[in-house]
Chain A
Amino acid sequence: MSKLSLIQAVNQALYHEMDRDPDMILLGEDIGLDGGVFRATDGLIQKFGEDRVVDTPLSESGIVGTAIGLAAYGLRPVAEIQFMGFLYGAMEQLISHAARIRSRSRGRYTCPLVVRTPYGGGIHAPELHSESTEAFFIHTPGLKVVVPSTPAEAKGLLLSAIRDPDPVIFLEPSKIYRAIKEEVPDGEHLIPLGEARVVAEGEDVSLITWGAMLHPSLEAAGKMAEKGVRAEVIDLRTLSPMDTGTIIQSVKKTGRAVIIHEAARTCGLGAEIAAVICEKALLSLEAPVLRVTGYDTPVPLPKTEKYYFPDCDQIIEAVEEVVQF
């Protein structure tokens, strides 16, 4: 065990797997000597060399497109896209190819590719550096989407993502890259994809969230506990495929659900979760399912970005609303 930040845990996971699997290679912009703009790949080029830690030309479509070919050829490429907002240039490769290679080739070829990218806002960065558009990828059949919420989670989920036989978009909440440190197991540490985590148990309301939003959700749960409201907090971890079983089990118990995400409201994953609850747990509900989300606008630039992201007070308000309904 060592106490690590989320970015250090990502670095450790990459190191561990590069060491274990000679077919794994990293590609992306500034991941070599610079160690990545957030330092996720710090020290890796020194250890594994230029052929395995590859600074590419500045081309997201090129990075993801060639990674698909590398993966189909039998390698384990892990691509870094510098910010989620720059993944948009690779949408065609992801949607039209990564997600379809297996089905198009009737299983002859697969695409065991991981695309890692910093995601979400709150770091006072320029335009398009604060995106949380996970729904685009969740909406694409054939892609898996994973979001860690703590350092240990990041290591365990990233190792599983790299070993997964299918393409995984791995979204790293940049706001908490360095905000929290926790004990992370050394060596092998695998957290299976597709399983949510109940972070706090409770009887009165289910808070369903992921990534950086787990933290204000836990804070809200703590404050509600002082008022006698026991909130269950679920960290989804894998957004696609989603662990609906854990959600439904929880909502059947609590009868109330509040979904918290940083992404824009309309057609965010919250909408899908609410639909699943309606389909599978309608008769257990004692209040409408509420969402606490970002607005249906671009994330503002740093001066006013703080207004965009859901905060603890908004979560508390929603919890009070469903409890008092």
Chain B
Amino acid sequence: MPKKTLQEFSVESIQILDENGKIDTTLLSQTDQISEKTLKSFYESMVLIRAIDEKALNLQRTGRMGTYASIQGQEAIQVGCAAALQPSDWCFPAFRATGLSVLRGTPIKVIYQYWSGDERGSEMQDGQHDFPISIPVGTHIPHAVGAAWGAKYKKDPIAVLTTFGDGATSKGDFHEGMNFAGVFKLPVVFVCQNNQWAISVPFSRQTAAKTIAQKAIAYGFEGIQVDGNDVLGIYTVTKNALEKARRGEGPTLIECLTYRLNDHTTADDASRYRTEEEVAIWQKKDPVLRLKTLIEKEYEWSESVDEALHAEVDRRVAEAVDAFEAIEPLNPLGMFDMLFETLSPELHDQRKKFTQRLGKLNKEESK
């Protein structure tokens, strides 16, 4: 038998809620039904995280915050993942994760604090098992795998989820993390927010493969693509993958196909490299509008209810901005104090000299 086919594969793509707000009931009925209450809470979360994002852009423009990476267009992924996760699960986000972080428990003001260049913005709440966001692209993926390994070792019934972009799948760390996860059959879910751009570099420059999802097959586990603007699809697929992980049945790669509606960050100008027509196409696929259409159709969701929601969200965000602006200044000594459990004599000496210098600088400033 000189030649035979050893393996063939196919990749599935899932969409439960389409662009017109219509649900595919066959897909949804396969899994648990999603209640009216849950659907409305998804919508409320999406409205909230979009408002937080809008405000962040505004704070940056008015000089009250630094460079910021907008999540607009990607809300469904962040709401779907957050809803699928249990509080006891661990989460390792990339840097485009404002919504996920807030829904996992980070106060809104802390998000603004981080992007204003304040280290305290990376602090987690008690009981929030999340890592601070990772700036070097893709490098956090093996950490998620390691945490999943730890959970397996300790027989903790939890799963780990990590998010990253399409660009990150070009990094060795992505492949190394996936490979370990497959080899050790670890309880980890890889969520790729494929927004089709890595700053100015299009998806076609990250891979010659048709999908990211199929990359899992080479590492010996399941990969699946989901419409990244369909919160129901993302929620369902992620929930199943997390449950599978908790049952000890190994990792899953979920590719969420979406689009970055804004510039890469506030320091970027996307008009240099992509067309307005392309953006317009994706604006029509907006994940928030899509869900709104559904709940308007299926439940009593009137304009006035919607306005009340927006008003409430705006109030929460305004409150968070006030709280953010009232934060006491950061003590620069933190750069020494957070480095080790105990300072070395040399660092202690540097800290002492810095304290003296700080005293002088503060005196000059107050003059």
Contact = CB atoms under 8 A, between A and B. Distances in A.
Interface of A: 29-30, 32-35, 37, 55-59, 61-62, 85-86, 88-89, 124-129, 265-266, 295-298, 300-305, 307-308, 313-314
Given A296-B346, A301-B117, A301-B118, A59 B170 contact: yes
Contact of B350 (A129, A295, A314): A295
Given A35-B272, A57-B206, A308 B170 contact: no
25 contacts: A29-B198, A32-B200, A33-B272, A33-B273, A34-B273, A55-B200, A57-B201, A58-B167, A89-B173, A125-B66, A126-B117, A128-B135, A128-B136, A265-B350, A296-B346, A297-B336, A300-B119, A300-B335, A301-B118, A302-B117, A303-B117, A303-B119, A304-B334, A305-B117, A307-B358
A86 B170 contact: no
B284 interface: no
Interface in B319-367: 329-330, 332, 334-336, 339, 346-347, 350, 354, 357-358, 360-361
A32 B117 CA distance: 29
Report which residue of B138, B201, B329, B354 has the largest number of chain A beta carbons within 10 angstroms of its beta carbon: B201
B13 interface: no
A128 B133 CA distance: 12
Report which residue of A35, A86, A302 has the largest number of chain B beta carbons within 10 angstroms of its beta carbon: A302
Given A89-B139, A303-B329, 7 more contacts: A30-B199, A297-B347, A298-B335, A300-B119, A307-B357, A307-B358, A307-B361
A321 to B, nearest CB: 12
A309 to B, nearest CB: 12
Contact of A125 (B67, B201, B330, B360): B67
A56 B336 CA distance: 38
A202 to B, nearest CB: 26
Given A58-B167, A59-B170, A30 B200 contact: yes
Nearest to B171: A59
Report which residue of A62, A88, A129, A295 has the largest number of chain B beta carbons within 10 angstroms of its beta carbon: A295
A71 to B, nearest CB: 21
A58 B206 contact: yes
Contacts of A126: 66-67, 95, 117, 135
Contact of A29 (B117, B168, B199, B358): B199
A35 to B, nearest CB: 7
A61 to B, nearest CB: 6
Interface of B: 66-67, 95, 116-119, 135-139, 167-168, 170-173, 198-201, 205-207, 267-268, 272-273, 329-330, 332, 334-336, 339, 346-347, 350, 354, 357-358, 360-361
A265 B207 CA distance: 42
A127 B67 CA distance: 11
Q: Is the interface of A mostly helix, strand, loop or mixed?
A: loop
A57 B118 contact: no
B168 A58 contact: yes
A33 B268 CA distance: 13
A209 to B, nearest CB: 19
Contacts of B346: 266, 296
Contact of B201 (A58, A124, A308): A58
Contacts of B138: 58
Nearest to A301: B117
Contact of B170 (A34, A58, A304): A58
Contacts of A313: 360
Contacts of B117: 124, 126, 301-303, 305
Nearest to B202: A55
A82 to B, nearest CB: 9
A295 B336 contact: yes
